[in-house]
Structure 1
Amino acid sequence: MKQITVISGKGGTGKTTITATFAYLAGNSVIADCDVDAPNLHILLKPRIMREEPFMGGRKAFITSDCNACGLCYELCRFDAIVPGDIYSVDETRCEGCALCFNACPSKAVEMRVAQSGKIFISETDYGPMVHALLNPGEENSGKLVSEVREKAKLIAEEKKAKLLLLDGAPGIGCPVIASLANTDIAVVVAEPTLSGISDMGRVLDLAEHFRVESVVIINKHDLNPDVVKEIEKLCATKGVEVLGKIPYDASIPEQLSKLSFPFEGEAAKAIADVWECLM
């Protein structure tokens, strides 16, 4: 089974648009959306949710009936998570799980309990099974959630004897990206021809190299800035990374996106299909 992870150094490069088209072209792969903070692959692939599972992330404070309302936890909490009352309580949306109240409570009335931090969805699409997730706002452990999404998608792929596991990674170089690169065969880096685009592409290529993951680059909207495209090609040559293909700017893509018209049509869609052939 081949594992392909599509990533980008920054948001807005067209990464998810390209991943969705790859899923369509693959026909029957197992798909995983590893952008758990702000997922949007589901908008295009329109998955039918078959099963929902809770993601249990970090621990949060819980105040028991042993509380004598001394107010110490309220004074100490810097996140305003303590709610005063006859028995104090904790606002889970504000609690950061630092455990200061747990350690300071003279009545030992505070417990640290594992809390639900998000949801994982096992779905079906017209293009194959899909695993995706959503982390609750402000929660941590996004890398851990991505790892769970990957693992569930891999198990489904093994059960179905799928030949391809296609992952849509998060933008940037943080924990979710690192988790999405684990055990992948090749990282497809989507770059845009801007100064920030080339800088962020360089950082994500360095990240992939650090973890010994083979990378290739796709330059999206290449015709908007030919000078920067040359710089991207020069940087890739220096790093020994292949530029797999270039996708032209296609004004019809934003229009198709606004109408949720998928699969895409037009020049860009044809160019993505050409890149897919080279990739496979």
Structure 2
Amino acid sequence: MMQLTVISGKGGTGKTTLTAAFASLAENAVIADCDVDAADMHLILEPGILEKEDYCGLEVSRIDPELCIKCGKCREFCRYGAVNENFEVDPYRCEGCAVCTVVCPEGAVSMEKRVSGQVFYSETRFGPMAHAQLGIGEEASGKLVSAVRSNAKKLAEECHKDLIIIDGPPGTGCSAIAATTGTDLVLVVVEPTVSGIHDLKRVLKLATHFMIQAVVCINKYDINEETTCLIEEFCADTGIPVLDRLPYNDIATKAMLRKQTVIEYANNSKYADETEFANQVRKIWTRLEEMLMDAQDKQEGIKTLEMKNL
């Protein structure tokens, strides 16, 4: 089973637009929306939810009023100010460090699970989809991303799919790491801006650290062709393939308003630039499929060699 993750250094680069398009072009894939902090793949794919489960992230402390002697130890040692004057815990301040359970002389404090969001098993017009929604003000998005990926793998095994296409979160934080590690190929979507170059370097450093092959797509290249050239030069110097440069086009907005992928929208478009944009996306997907097949062949070759050496 192969896994492709589409990521970016910042939000709004066109990552979800491309991922949704790839989902419409893939023939045997599971879609995973791992941008749990700002999930929007469902706006395009309109998944029908088959199953929903509560997700419990961080534990929070609870003070038993019958056991509490109001000694103040929990308030003294809580660095987050989660314990109020009435010796009640504010769940939005509590970070789940559990120090209060250690310092309480009466054993009045315990840790309880808190529902931080929901995970979903769904079906779309392009196949199964695993996704989630993080609660407002909740943390532990990295753990929730891992849960989504685990569910996507489960769906792939049950539905006999050989590819998982992951819409990853932007940046290089815990959620991006959780969406990237263990995948076979990473596509980085970048815009030609000064911050875009900076973010690209950080994301590529992340992929390199986890020894994952990375490729780049420059979106809206024509808003700053000079910076586009700088990105291409940087990628050439570091040996990172640039699959294509996509022009600025409002087809992405038009398609999303109609809850379609750019591929679907272009099929009925009368404008040549929109058709050409969709054709470029098709070419990018063809390149990605070829690279995934090569990666799969290498994995099978390594497994065969290991078996011979046993």
Give the TM-score, by structure 1 length. Answer: 0.91
Confirm or deny that 1:4 pairs with 2:13: no
1:253 and 1:142 map into 2 onto residues whose CA distance is 27
* Secondary structure in structure 2 of the residue aligned to 1:173: coil
**Residue 152 of structure 1: CA displacement?**
1.3
Q: Which residue of 1 aligns with 2:230?
A: 231
Q: Which residue of 1 aligns with 2:101?
A: 102
Deviates more, 1:248-257 or 1:66-75: 66-75
Instruction: Determine what percentage of the aligned residue pairs are the same residue.
Output: 49
Contact 1:33 1:131 in 2 (8 A): yes
**Residue 27 of structure 1: CA displacement?**
4.2
Deviates more, 1:177-186 or 1:92-101: 92-101
1:58 and 1:141 map into 2 onto residues whose CA distance is 7
Deviates more, 1:252-261 or 1:191-200: 252-261
1:251 and 1:135 map into 2 onto residues whose CA distance is 29
Query: What does 1:44-63 correspond to in 2, within 5 Å?
Result: 44-63=44-63
**Residue 71 of structure 1: CA displacement?**
5.1
Q: Say which of 281, 288, 297 aligns to 1:279.
A: 288
* Secondary structure in structure 1 of the residue aligned to 2:43: helix
- Structure 2 unmatched ranges of 5 or more: 267-273, 290-310
* Secondary structure in structure 1 of the residue aligned to 2:192: coil
Aligned AA (1:190): V
More strand by share: 1
**Residue 136 of structure 1: CA displacement?**
2.3
Aligned AA (2:235): C
* Secondary structure in structure 2 of the residue aligned to 1:89: coil
1:79 and 1:207 map into 2 onto residues whose CA distance is 31
Give the TM-score, by structure 2 length. Answer: 0.83
Q: Which residue of 2 aligns with 1:270?
A: 279
Aligned AA (1:272): V
1:207 and 1:76 map into 2 onto residues whose CA distance is 36
**Residue 261 of structure 1: CA displacement?**
4.3
Contact 1:9 1:172 in 2 (8 A): yes
2:7 and 2:94 map into 1 onto residues whose CA distance is 32
Contact 1:249 1:268 in 2 (8 A): no
Aligned AA (1:12): G
Deviates more, 1:71-80 or 1:16-25: 71-80
More helix by share: 2
Deviates more, 1:7-16 or 1:260-269: 260-269
1:138 and 1:102 map into 2 onto residues whose CA distance is 24
1:156 and 1:257 map into 2 onto residues whose CA distance is 26
Aligned AA (2:113): V
Structure 1 pair 252–160 and aligned structure 2 pair: CA distance change class (3 A): closer
Contact 1:8 1:171 in 2 (8 A): yes
* Secondary structure in structure 2 of the residue aligned to 1:20: helix
Contact 2:46 2:259 in 1 (8 A): no
2:79 and 2:183 map into 1 onto residues whose CA distance is 40
Q: Which residue of 2 aligns with 1:130?
A: 129
Deviates more, 1:229-238 or 1:111-120: 111-120
Query: What does 1:207-246 correspond to in 2, within 5 Å?
Result: 207-246=206-245
Contact 2:130 2:152 in 1 (8 A): yes
Confirm or deny that 1:196 pairs with 2:205: no
Aligned pairs, how many? 278
Confirm or deny that 1:119 pairs with 2:128: no
2:250 and 2:56 map into 1 onto residues whose CA distance is 42
* Secondary structure in structure 1 of the residue aligned to 2:38: coil
1:26 and 1:2 map into 2 onto residues whose CA distance is 12
Deviates more, 1:102-111 or 1:212-221: 102-111
**Residue 58 of structure 1: CA displacement?**
1.9
* Secondary structure in structure 2 of the residue aligned to 1:137: coil
Q: Which residue of 1 aligns with 2:305?
A: none
* Secondary structure in structure 1 of the residue aligned to 2:153: helix
1:190 and 1:79 map into 2 onto residues whose CA distance is 37
Deviates more, 1:252-261 or 1:131-140: 252-261
> 1:194-245, CA deviations, whole angstroms, 9 ceiling, x for partnerless residues?
1111111111111101111011111111121111111111111111111111
* Secondary structure in structure 2 of the residue aligned to 1:96: coil
* Secondary structure in structure 1 of the residue aligned to 2:52: strand
**Residue 107 of structure 1: CA displacement?**
2.8
**Residue 248 of structure 1: CA displacement?**
1.1
Q: Which residue of 2 aligns with 1:251?
A: 250
Structure 1 pair 159–32 and aligned structure 2 pair: CA distance change class (3 A): same
Contact 2:34 2:148 in 1 (8 A): yes
> 1:228-274, CA deviations, whole angstroms, 9 ceiling, x for partnerless residues?
11111111111111111111111233243345444332243332122
**Residue 163 of structure 1: CA displacement?**
2.2
